[in-house]
Amino acid sequence: MNTEEKLNQLANFRAQIDMLNLQKQEAIDKVLTPEIKAELEAIDAEFGDKSEGAKENIAALEAEIKDAVVNQGATVKGEFLMAVYNKARASWDTKGLDGFAVAHPEIRAFQSFGKPSVTIRSR
């Protein structure tokens, strides 16, 4: 099986999962009475509001922690979590350096390449 055929097979597998999830939801919807559905919606609304507040608190505290760790310049470990400090990475103007390398090919000795990667996405 070539790569195109494998991609098509992968798409079929993903479609099967989507279909199973739809069928599962249809089966669930058949056994839920309108009263139960209304109660579930009320529960979702009640907890949705509570979780939004908690998510906002988490985002604010994460931002504070990240700022503090950046200012400190070191990883901080808590009892359950740790905020890992990563120093700033250097970046270069690749087009500019490629042009410079035409006149100064010795700079190519300092060039390295990482491994290629693949991302599978919808067309």
Q: Is 118 inside any structural domain?
A: no
CB atoms within 10 A of CB 70: 13
Q: Is 105 inside any structural domain?
A: yes
Q: Is 7 inside any structural domain?
A: yes
Q: What average pLDDT does the structure give for the chain? A: 93
CA dihedral 24, 25, 28, 29 (to 10 degrees): -150
Q: How far is CA 95 from CA 92, 99, 102, in A?
A: 9, 6, 11
**Nearest-angstrom CA–CA distance, 5 and 29:** 36
Q: Is 11 inside any structural domain?
A: yes
pLDDT tens-place string over residues 50-67:
888 889 999 999 999 999
Q: Which residue has the tokens 């098509």?
A: 8
Number of independent structural domains in the chain: 1
1 neighbors 9 (Cβ within 8 angstroms): yes
Q: What is the pLDDT of residue 96?
A: 94
pTM to 2 decimal places: 0.59
User: Residue 122 pLDDT > 90, yes or no?
Assistant: no
pLDDT tens-place string over residues 67-105:
999 999 999 999 999 999 999 988 999 999 999 999 999
Percent residues over pLDDT 90 in the chain: 79
User: Residue 121 pLDDT > 90, yes or no?
Assistant: no
Q: Is 21 inside any structural domain?
A: yes
Range of the domain at 98: 3-110
**Nearest-angstrom CA–CA distance, 49 and 41:** 12
Q: Is 95 inside any structural domain?
A: yes
Q: What is the pLDDT of residue 82?
A: 94
Q: Is 117 inside any structural domain?
A: no
pLDDT-derived band at 123, boundaries 50, 70, 90:
confident
Q: Which DSSP string corresponds to 6-46? A: HHHHHHHHHHHHHHHHHHHHHHHHHH--HHHHHHHHHHHHH
pLDDT tens-place string over residues 14-23:
999 999 999 9
